[in-house]
Every structure is written in C-alpha cells, then in structure tokens.
Amino acid sequence: MKRLFFTTIILIAIKTLSAQPAKDAVLLSQYISQGTARSQAMAGAVGAMGNDFGCVATNPAGLGLYRSRGEFTLTPALSFSSAASTYFGQTEKATKSNFNLSNMDIVLSREQSNYGTLRFWQIGFGLNRTYNFNQNTLARGNNANSSIVDSFFGDIDGISIDELTDNYNYLPAWSTYIIDTMNDAYTTPVPQGNLAQTRSLKSSGHTDEWTLAGSMNLIDKVFLGAAIGIAHINRTNNYSFTEENLNSGEFFSEWTNSERVGTSGVGLNARIGIIAFPTRWLRIGLAYHTPTSYTLKETWEPSATSVLNGHTYSSSSDLYTSYTYNLRTPHKFGANLAFIIGSKGLITADYEFLNYRQATFSANDWDYTGKNEEIKSVGRAASNFRIGTEWVLGNVYLRGGFAFYGSPYQDGEEKVGNTFVYSTGIGYPITSKFIIDLAYSFINGSNALFPYRYEGISTIGENHMRHNAALSLKLKW
C-alpha cells in the first residue's frame, strides 16, 4: 500500500491543457438573447420590427426605424430556474434565482432630409445579455453495478505512478487513497456497485455583449445596418460527485470528487443587415453574423475527500491550474418578416441557421486538431425560429411570442434537446416621453448525460425550466 501521508507541490497538469470538453465549444456558441422587455415579450422576434435595441442582436438594420431624437432604455430582470433530474429511477429537484441587468442602451437618431435618398441615420450603443448560465442541478440514485472509479481505471491502465501524480484529473483520488497500489497494480477500496451516488452541478455566470451599431433610412423603404459586438463570457461551474457505501461497517464509507472550473474572456464579432418595405404591410429582412472570436482563460481547481475506516482524508488545496485558449463560434445567417396590420398591431417572424460543427478551439501552445474533430462529431447544423406579435389596445400594448432553438448536438444516448421559449408582456406609455414595458418568459429544455463513462451506466435525464421577468424603463427625447 502507498504511504498514508501525501505532500504535493504545484505540478504541471499535463492533461488539463486540453481539458475543455468538445461540448463546451458548442455550449459557449449558444445564445438566447434577453435584451429589452419588449424584445423578451415577443420571444426575441424583433428582427424586422426594429425600433428596439433588442434588434441589434438579430438584424441591426432595425435601428433604422427609430425616429425620436434620442432614447435611453434600462432593463433589470429577475430569473428563477429549476431542474428536475432522474437517475436510476429517483428524481431530485434543484433551484436557483438571480437578479441581473438584461439591457442598457442609448440610441440617437437624426433626420437628414425629407426628400433625399438618406432620410434618417442612427447610432446606438448598449448592452444585451445573450446567455444566462445560472442553473443548479442535483441527481441521486443507487448504483448496483459500478463506481466512477471504474472509469478512472480505464484511463490510467498502463501509465506509471509518476504520470498519474502529474495529472490533476486523478491526483485528488490518489492523494485521498481512492486510487492505491498493491503488488504493482492499481487498486481501490471503493466497491464496484451498491453505492448511493450524488451528482451536483452549480453553474453561475452569463454572456453579455456591448454593441456599437449604426443604421440608415433610405427613402423610408430600405434600411441598412451594421454592428460591432464585444462579447464577454463569465462562467463558473462547481461540480461534485459523491459515492456512499450502502453496506455499513466496511473499510470504505464515502468519498467526494469535486472541481471548480472558471471560464472568462472577451470576443469580437460583427453583424450586417438590411430591411426592405416592398409594401406598407410587409417588411423583409436579411442578416449575417460573423463568428465571435474569443480569447478565454480557464481556471481549474480539482479536489477530493474520503472517509476510510473512520478517518477523513483531503487532497491538497494547492491543486490549481489556469490556461488560455481561443474559441471561434459558427457563422450565423438570418431572415426576418413583419406583417403590419394597420395601426392595430403586427406579427413578426425570425429564422436563423448556424452550424455548430464550425466551432473551433485553438492555442499557441497546444494542438487542438483532435478536439476540433470531436466537435464535428458531436455538433450539428441547427435552425432557430421565433414568432412574436404586438397589438394596440387603447394606450396599452399587448405582446406575446414563441421561440424554438434547435439542439446543437447530434442525437445519441447523451444529448441536449431543443429549447422552447413562451413569452408575454405589456407596454404602457406613462407620458409621450416615458414608457414602461413588462415581460415574462418561460424557457424549457431537456438533457440526457452520463455521470461518467463506463459500460452499462445509466444516463441522467434532466428537465430544465427558467422563469424570467423583466422591466424596461424607456426615456425618449
């Protein structure tokens, strides 16, 4: 048996340099824009509607429909998420709430001519939240056939102890005696099954985008727009996996494998768009979004604790590593429609196409060729649809919407399903210069994932639900 005393120094974590899962490239390429309350109330289907800063996330030509000299919007929001996870027939629920700033923007519009080709031009600058990572999940179940340590043994078979202790993936288990040696072979005190297993993931963070956009109104029939976006990712995942021995009185009681992963960085992108009015009742738009090129820093802090023969062992608190890499998200193409029903209301629709297999990792000090091939094997092309409507009832604006975001992953035993958004809202002008908008949206999606890789392991089925409420305060001049 190895020594029951372990001292560690900061080592070079060989495997962590390529530790990003391929699915991270896909996840960080996703977006469900929040933006203004008006945009959220219409499920984001504002591409051809315009006259709202939420449109810059879809089609920046929509800024060309602004007529007021200036407008400032501030949108605080409250989000409540819940996730029901089923594992070996047992269902657990986890919840999380957070307050955030969904949008802040200023748009200036100037009239150029009543009769010339260029009628108005606009410039806008602001913030839109484009993804919310805040979510907790909890799964519990009794596994009669395997342990997460079995998956470790499949990875470390044939490597030396020196190689194992240079790898942060397995060093915490080694230093807490979950991985041990006997007769020059790896062994473990953890039984192969009859274990109560608990998987916990606490995620926090968001993706925001600061956007500078400009637009032109040509003869009140053609609107052109362009935007430059600076995207910011800030995400933290706190993961733990606990195994408890269902047979009391044995040498092994329980152990927990944990890790804290932080991802942060900035990226740059651009968008162009056009909207045309072929008739008074129809608006048609097209848009193109370049990939977002991110430079990201990832930090990784693994740890473990175990209880063996009544004694508690913990891995060193010095296991920490960080590394920098690049992520390039897919191109995106969009089309927009709006049907204008006189002064009574409108119906809008947006369509987007993107191929998540185009997402790529890169770094100056690491070859990501194999990882990028893996991204192609798990990602797929996807379509997103959004439909919204707004109706005028006296001084009140009634809104509703629905959105469908296609799964970015190819089908398999482990998968992430489609995401659905249902929304509603109301707008009320307090005065001609001050407007209040309220929105509520419900976001629903499902996942199936393996807690670890081992033959015969059951997937965890997750059903995610998020409730968002937003309030926009809009001041015009």
pLDDT confidence tier of residue 165, bands split at 50, 70 and 90 = confident
Q: How much is the average pLDDT of 361-387?
A: 93
pLDDT at residue 5 greater than cutoff 80: no
Which of 230-244, 367-381, 403-417 is predicted with the least confidence, judged by mean pLDDT? 403-417
Q: How much is the average pLDDT of 166-176?
A: 89
Residues counted in the chain = 477
pLDDT at residue 282 greater than cutoff 70: yes
- Please give the model's pTM, rounded to 2 decimal places: 0.91
Per DSSP, the residues of 316-367 read -TT--EEEEEEEEPPPEEEEEEEEEETTTEEEEEEEEEEEGGG-EEEBTTB-
Q: Which pLDDT belongs to residue 413?
A: 66
Residue 157 to residue 179: CA distance in whole angstroms: 12
Residue 37 to residue 76: CA distance in whole angstroms: 9
pLDDT at residue 437 greater than cutoff 70: yes
Per DSSP, the residues of 32-83 read ----SHHHHHTTT--TTT-SSGGGGGT-GGGGGG--SSEEEEEEEEEEEEEE
Residue 394 CB contacts under 8 Å (≥ 6 apart), including other chains: none
C-alpha dist (Å) from residue 451 to 253, 255, 368, 455: 20, 15, 25, 12
Share of the chain above pLDDT 70, in %: 96
Q: How much is the average pLDDT of 284-298?
A: 97
Q: Which pLDDT belongs to residue 157?
A: 85
Note the Cα 142 to chain centre separation in Å: 30
Q: What is the pLDDT of residues 303-334, one digit of tens each?
A: 999 999 999 999 977 788 899 999 999 999 99
Residue 251 to residue 247: CA distance in whole angstroms: 10
Residue 205 to residue 163: CA distance in whole angstroms: 34
Q: How much is the average pLDDT of 374-383?
A: 92
Residue 380 contacts residue 348 (beta carbons within 8 Å): no
Q: Which pLDDT belongs to residue 7?
A: 34
Alpha helices in 171-228 (DSSP H): 171-175
pLDDT confidence tier of residue 8, bands split at 50, 70 and 90 = very low
C-alpha dist (Å) from residue 239 to 135, 166, 401: 12, 22, 35
Q: What is the pLDDT of residues 205-227, one digit of tens each?
A: 999 999 999 999 999 999 999 99
pLDDT at residue 270 greater than cutoff 90: yes
